């Protein structure tokens, strides 16, 4: 399913901003604009990866898969919206695990008794994710249990944890792309998208040239930065006008917009009974946010002179662990059915409602 029709919201968003048409309108159209831009970035990266070989191509996909989230978060950090950025990290992990996986499991399971996937790689991915989430919440857990840490100590602890996360991420790439490719081969070998031709028969989509792939990648990144600027400027006033906290806006709205492309792709793969690819999109996406995006944002905030710590709220800690635990219940046996997807989405809806009523 093409998302390019949503590109129309880019000029609409910019026009509304120039005309000062209201923060809610700018915020809404900016969110809608993020969806096709993130999809274009992902598509250009996949086509460019064809020229780099399996290992380098996988590294490129892993490294650039979260560019939209990073750009939006960096602009939010530059405006001092540290709490919103931390909320978006939580929301991205929750969204990837519960919605980006849950909806495809539901829709892919309709009409089927069960669907299967590589249980070994799924268990390993969830184990890596559990380690990542544990590392992320340790500073907050330590702070909330002792309440004696100074701001400097909190920052130092967050930096140390960020270093460990980056090291684990680098080693995970070595493991998945070099030393143990065979465990993840089913996940990496996504088929080239098929499109109907004029005779009604399916044919493989032609791989883009390097020039086209690089041009789309560069152009989408520039436009994404512009839209992200509009989004972060409108976020605080729009959230206030809508009666939402910044935490809810970051966890639910920003994360959902960023994950929509992954949700659509995951549903497509699940309907074709390719659950290995669905798990790769969701669980690996959440792992990259925890192991790569989070450290990048911590170090970037230091360079901006506005250090971001890893002190997540107690409820965010609970939500992250609940998400990892329930996904861990789905992954071990290598099988899933539509009702397990209902449970994942149900947990997300419960958490979303709780975050809405969570005081600012």
DSSP string covering 133-175: HHHHHHHHHHHHHH----HHHHHHHHHHHHHHHHHHHHHHHHI
95-104, 191-200, 284-293, 316-325: which range is least confident on average?
A: 191-200
Q: What is the pLDDT of residue 252?
A: 86
Q: What is the model's pLDDT at position 55?
A: 60
Judge whether residue 256 has pLDDT over 90: no
Distance CA(71)–CA(60), nearest Å, equals 17
Q: Into how many domains does the chain fold?
A: 1
Cβ atoms within 10 Å, residue 51: 14
Give dist(CA 38, CA 27) in Å, integer.
17
Are 189 and 181 in contact by the 8 Å Cβ rule? The answer is no
Question: What pTM does this model have?
Answer: 0.83
Q: Which residue has the higher pLDDT, 352 or 185?
A: 352
Q: What is the pLDDT of residues 97-154, one digit of tens each?
A: 999 899 999 999 998 888 988 777 778 888 888 888 888 888 888 887 777 778 788 8
Is 60 exceeded by the pLDDT of residue 187? no
Specify the CATH number for the domain of residue 282.
Answer: 1.20.1420.30
pLDDT in tens, 341-352: 999 999 999 999
pLDDT of residue 194: 44
Within 8 A by CB and 6+ apart from 310, the residues are 86, 136, 137, 139, 140, 157, 158, 161, 162, 294, 298
Q: What is the mean pLDDT of the chain?
A: 83
The answer to whether residue 53 scores a pLDDT higher than 50 is yes
Full domain range(s) for residue 319: 4-357
* Two tokens, residue 156: 């130092």
pLDDT score at 197? 45
Tokens 């972060």 — which residue? 232
Is residue 47's pLDDT more than 90?
A: no
Question: Which residue, 36, 5, 13, 35, is CA-closest to 229?
Answer: 13
């Amino acid at each position: 399913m093409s998302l390019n029709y949503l590109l129309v919201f880019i000029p609409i968003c910019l026009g509304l901003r120039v005309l000062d048409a209201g923060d809610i309108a700018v915020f809404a159209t900016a969110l809608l604009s993020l969806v096709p831009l993130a999809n274009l970035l992902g598509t250009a990266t996949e086509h460019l990866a064809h020229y780099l070989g399996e290992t380098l191509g996988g590294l490129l996909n892993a490294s650039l898969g979260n560019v939209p989230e990073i750009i939006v978060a960096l602009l939010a950090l530059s405006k001092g919206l540290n709490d919103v950025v931390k909320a978006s990290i939580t929301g991205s992990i929750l969204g990837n695990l519960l919605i980006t996986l849950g909806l495809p499991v539901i829709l892919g399971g309709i009409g089927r008794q069960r669907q299967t996937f590589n249980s070994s790689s799924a268990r390993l991915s969830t184990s890596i994710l559990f380690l990542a989430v544990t590392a992320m919440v340790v500073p907050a857990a330590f702070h909330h249990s002792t309440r004696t840490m100074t701001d400097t100590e909190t920052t130092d602890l967050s930096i140390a944890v960020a270093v460990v996360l980056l090291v684990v991420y680098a080693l995970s790439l070595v493991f998945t792309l070099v030393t143990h490719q065979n465990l993840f081969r089913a996940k990496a070998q996504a088929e080239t998208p098929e499109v109907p031709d004029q005779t009604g028969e399916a044919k493989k989509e032609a791989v883009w040239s390097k020039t086209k792939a690089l041009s789309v990648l560069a152009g989408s990144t520039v436009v994404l930065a512009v839209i992200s600027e509009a989004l972060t400027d409108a976020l605080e006033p729009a959230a206030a006008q809508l009666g939402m906290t910044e935490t809810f806006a970051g966890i639910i709205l920003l994360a959902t917009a960023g994950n929509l492309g992954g949700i659509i792709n995951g549903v497509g793969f699940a309907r074709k009974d390719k659950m290995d690819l669905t798990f790769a999109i969701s669980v690996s996406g959440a792992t990259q946010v925890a192991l790569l995006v989070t450290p990048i944002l911590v170090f970037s905030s230091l360079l901006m002179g506005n250090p971001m710590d890893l002190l997540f709220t107690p409820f965010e800690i609970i939500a992250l662990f609940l998400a990892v635990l329930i996904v861990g219940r789905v992954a071990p046996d290598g099988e899933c059915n539509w009702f397990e997807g209902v449970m994942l989405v149900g947990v997300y809806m419960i958490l979303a409602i709780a975050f809405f009523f969570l005081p600012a």
